[in-house]
Amino acid sequence: MTDVQTETPVTPAAAPKKRPIAWPLGLAGAVFVIVGSCLSWSYDGSILNNLSINFYPGGLQILAIIVAVVSLVLLVLDKGKLGWWLDTTAGLRSLGTGLAFFMVLVLAAISVESDGLINVNPGGYITLVGALLLAVAAWLMPLRHGLRDMSKAKSPAWAEIAAIALLMAALLFTAAYALGLDDAWLFILCLVFIATIAVGLFRTGAMSWVSHAGQRHRKVLTLASFAVAFLFPFTQDGSDANMSIATSVLVFAATAMGLNIVVGLAGLLDLGYIAFLGSGAYVAATLSQSAFATIGWKPPFLVVVLVGACVAALLGLVIGSPTLRVSGDYLAIVTLGFGEIFRFAMFNLDGNNGPNLTNGPNGIPGIPDLELFGFNFGAVHHPFGIELGRFSNYYFLLLVLTGGVILVFSRLNSSRIGRGWVAIREDEKAAEAMGVNVFGLKLLAFAVGAFLAGLAGTIKAHQDGAVSPDQYMFLESAFLLAAIVLGGMGTIAGVLLGATILKLLPEKLRFFSEYRLLLFGITLVLMMRFRPEGLVASRRRQLEFHEEDEKLADEVEHQLVEEAK
């Protein structure tokens, strides 16, 4: 690596005291983990995908070996030149601590699933001891105080592109593996492993380098991301269960991206956004070939998509025109009321309390699958001999929709309109004083966000095969807003990550069904305390929440200069 900007070196007097025992202790810990993972962990072979065979590691044992190998690599780098630009100690602390927690959970799972800790074989204890040794060694090692500005660390273009491709391939494999785990304990332990590796790499600075490489090769990163998303159904062996979750994630993500315009860019708190998704879904249902559809006009689906999106945008204008003159808590209350009005209106349009458009609480079932240009989305297809079921077909359609929504969002964010929205979010009075059409841009944000949600709703109706008022409760709007806050307001990757987390985890952790809202609330409280800007925050949002960070301010200024070029 070249052109690396360094900080003022630490003087020998101020340098942290080295402990010679730390490095060999860490090496011994990593070796213990590898050896222990090759031995049997459990006497009972019927739990946790069989960890009872010596010298034949199971899935969890392989994950422990991966963490140990990464730790060994960091230990070796700590002795070499690369240790001067990677914060190897910070990474080792995260890996060692995470691996120790991982092993404690493994032993707890064995104890719960069988008849107690008596069923834990020596391999499990050896691996736990190794993880503890690795964690202790890492905390004894001195931290690197000369962590470089990774935006200046440039490598050959082929190396950066290869790193992006490797990261995307790892994401594809990890997603396929995690979704294939039906056991709740296995899924939780897999999440702990992913978090351990991710935090460890971030703490070293390696992921920061990859992030800057992605910024320098945005087209490659975008193409690789969509290639991974496109290939995902081919890894599921025709599993409708996993693909059903994936399609729900895409619908949720596309809808959240529309809300991101309203909340993330314009700063308008909308608590009734799910109504726009519902309006698109109801338009598609009433114009479908269902025997319960209440409108005789049956246009092609491409026309239905536009009609549903325009109806949602019209509702956005209707609710926005009289209410956008208020702001803050008052706007949130008004939009919350609109969401509930929409749901009750769908209940009452049953032919008794009003015209029969929605069949009231019964909804509109029996919505047939889409058929576009002779392609039946409800049929099973076998491209390249790989089975792709009904949900896989809708997944590809929703992937195209999500790509279009992301394109619209990114273009608007980079445009004059997007800058106007950001100015309104930062200081509405100052923006108005500078000549920004505040009311017009607010109304446009509502209309565009509602239009995108309506698009997603028209496809969701056919994918679900039915619509009913119960699908569009306030809680769904709250989850959409939470996805944006959790992922990072105003960002694309953050919203996609937040939508994935909030849709995937409840599906895979159904045994927590009674405590899901409790866990959800605890997660948000912790996020607001330790990372209020979100998991994947923009530099501007980070600076808003960490104004005292001078280094971050310099990085933001540098990034804005680069974008201006």
Give the domains, in start order, of the chain with CATH numbers.
Answer: 22-163+181-206 (no CATH), 238-534 (1.10.3470), 536-565 (no CATH)
pLDDT > 70 fraction of the chain, expressed in percent and rounded: 88
Residue 271, SS3 per DSSP? coil
* b/e code 461-493 from CB counts within 10 Å (16+ = b): bbbbbbbbbebbeeebbbbbbbbbbbbbbbbbb
Higher pLDDT, 159 or 244: 244
Number of residues in the chain: 565
Output 399-407 pairs: Cβ under 8 A, ≥24 positions apart: 399/226, 399/229, 399/230, 399/250, 401/250, 401/254, 401/455, 401/456, 401/459, 402/250, 402/253, 402/254, 402/257, 403/226, 405/254, 405/257, 405/258, 405/452, 405/455, 405/456, 406/257, 406/492
Q: How far apart are alpha carbons 432 and 524 in whole angstroms?
A: 33
Biggest CA–CA distance in the chain, Å, is 85
> Any bridge partners for residue 2, and if so which?
154
Q: How far apart are alpha carbons 170 and 162 in whole angstroms?
A: 12
What pLDDT is stored for residue 559 in this prediction?
A: 57
Work out whether the CA dihedral 384, 382, 368, 245 comes out positive or negative: negative
What pLDDT is stored for residue 562 in this prediction?
A: 55
What pLDDT is stored for residue 94 in this prediction?
A: 94
Eight-class DSSP state of 51: -
Lowest mean pLDDT among 46-55, 366-375, 547-556: 547-556
> Any bridge partners for residue 381, and if so which?
388
| Residues 487, 257 contacting (CB under 8 angstroms) | no
Lowest mean pLDDT among 36-50, 184-198, 507-521: 507-521
Lowest mean pLDDT among 204-208, 399-403, 483-487: 204-208
Q: How far apart are alpha carbons 390 and 456 in whole angstroms?
A: 17
What pLDDT is stored for residue 548 in this prediction?
A: 53
What pLDDT is stored for residue 14 in this prediction?
A: 43
Output the CA–CA distances (angstroms, integers) from residue 52 to 38, 48, 121, 440, 483, in the order listed.
Answer: 10, 10, 8, 66, 40
- pLDDT at residue 444 greater than cutoff 80: yes
- pLDDT at residue 446 greater than cutoff 80: yes
**Each residue's pLDDT tens digit, 130-148:** 999 999 999 998 876 544 5
What pLDDT is stored for residue 505 in this prediction?
A: 80
Identify which of 64-73, 158-167, 208-217 has the greatest average pLDDT.
64-73
What pLDDT is stored for residue 154 in this prediction?
A: 66
| Rounded average pLDDT over 361-388 | 88
What pLDDT is stored for residue 558 in this prediction?
A: 57
Helices (H) and strands (E) in the chain, counts: 21, 2
Question: What angle is formed at CA 532 by the lines to CA 228 and CA 472, rounded to 5 degrees?
Answer: 65
374: left (phi over 0), alpha (psi -120 to 50) or beta: left
Question: Residue 375: enclosing H or E segment and its boundaries?
Answer: strand 375-376
- pLDDT at residue 278 greater than cutoff 50: yes
* b/e code 103-120 from CB counts within 10 Å (16+ = b): beebbebbeeebeeeebb
What pLDDT is stored for residue 218 in this prediction?
A: 81
What pLDDT is stored for residue 209 in this prediction?
A: 79
Work out whether the CA dihedral 59, 60, 61, 62 comes out positive or negative: positive
- pLDDT at residue 298 greater than cutoff 80: yes
| Rounded average pLDDT over 254-282 | 91
Q: How confident is the model at residue 82 (pLDDT cuts 50, 70, 90)?
A: low
Residue 9, SS3 per DSSP? coil
| Rounded average pLDDT over 101-114 | 93
**pTM of the entire structure?**
0.83
| Rounded average pLDDT over 9-19 | 46
Which residue matches tokens 């889409």?
370
> Any bridge partners for residue 388, and if so which?
381
Work out whether the CA dihedral 186, 192, 195, 196 comes out positive or negative: negative
Q: How confident is the model at residue 556 (pLDDT cuts 50, 70, 90)?
A: low
| Residues 204, 87 contacting (CB under 8 angstroms) | yes
Q: What's the mean per-residue pLDDT of the chain?
A: 84
What pLDDT is stored for residue 531 in this prediction?
A: 78
What pLDDT is stored for residue 1 in this prediction?
A: 41
Identify which of 2-6, 10-14, 366-370 has the greatest average pLDDT.
366-370
